[in-house]
Amino acid sequence: MPLASVDHNCRPEKLFANIARWLVIIEFACSLQEKGGNLMRKALMSSVAALAPLAAISATISTAPANNGSGGIFMDLTALANPLYVTSFATPFSGTTGTEAHVQVWTRAGTYVGFTASSDGWTLLETVTTTRQGTTVNAPIVLANPIALQVSQVRAVYLQCVFPETTGTGIRYTGTAAAPPQTLWENSDIRLFSDTARTGFVPFGGTSFTPRCFSGDVNYEVVPEPATLAVLAAALGGLAIRRRNR
């Protein structure tokens, strides 16, 4: 099975913000060291817990270009090595370039397979407004509420273009009856399975087509494993002690 493309990056603005926070924490830990080791230890552990989301690394998994559509698309997402937060999607839309598109984002614990005809068991996470970029250019679907993925646990996501859209102006996807798409994509962080689409602009309505696969990008942040945070705690503690002994 081909691997999906993946791009890891630590954004410069996040890195600089992290460094500034670490320096403040070290100064604070040094002052607490003079008042008692237990206070410093508690402060360091609290600081590490607060820094966990700040230390997350941004990454992307990409699938094949769109060649069909449109309406909505289902996918299963699974974190493979570390917990993840899905922060946004990017996918092309049918319709007039430059016009607004409205997308409902639904989620459910477990797979979507067998649960594509009804909202039972699904949660409407939010409705996102984006701008169409053309039928072959991805438009961003940025989440105000990132989707948490725990290791090895499947979470289903359903993206559906909704009213005031009309039939033929929704999310595009990959696959035709004559040319079935690749439906399973993964890298070292995440696995994506997608084989079902629905036409129209009514959630869980329209006509179901399979196999059809999500086309575009899933952007996410990798949460550091506990061992990494432990190393950070040890480093902060060591720096604090060195400064105190100067």
E-strand spans in 4-50?
Answer: 5-6
Which residue bears the tokens 């494993």? 225
Phi/psi at 136 (5° precision): -120, 5
E-strand spans in the chain?
Answer: 5-6, 57-62, 68-79, 84-91, 100-109, 123-131, 139-149, 154-161, 171-174, 184-186, 190-193, 197-199, 208-209, 213-214, 217-222
Written as six digits, the tokens of 96 are 């007039």
Phi/psi at 77 (5° precision): -120, 135
CA–CA dist 213, 242 (Å, integer): 55
At residue 164, the pLDDT reads: 77
At residue 11, the pLDDT reads: 44
Residue 229: strand, helix, or coil: helix
At residue 50, the pLDDT reads: 55
How many helices and strands, by DSSP H and E, does the chain display? Answer: 3, 15
Phi/psi at 64 (5° precision): -80, 155
CA–CA dist 29, 232 (Å, integer): 14
Residue 1: strand, helix, or coil: coil
Q: How confident is the model at residue 72 (pLDDT cuts 50, 70, 90)?
A: very high
pLDDT at residue 20 is higher than 80: no
Classify burial at 197, counting beta carbons within 10 Å of its beta carbon; exposed 0-12, middle 13-18, buried 19 or more. Answer: buried
Cis amide prior to 146 (ω within 30 degrees) = no
pTM over 0.85: no
Q: For the segment 173-188, what is each residue's pLDDT rounded down to a tens digit? A: 999 999 999 999 999 9
At residue 35, the pLDDT reads: 52
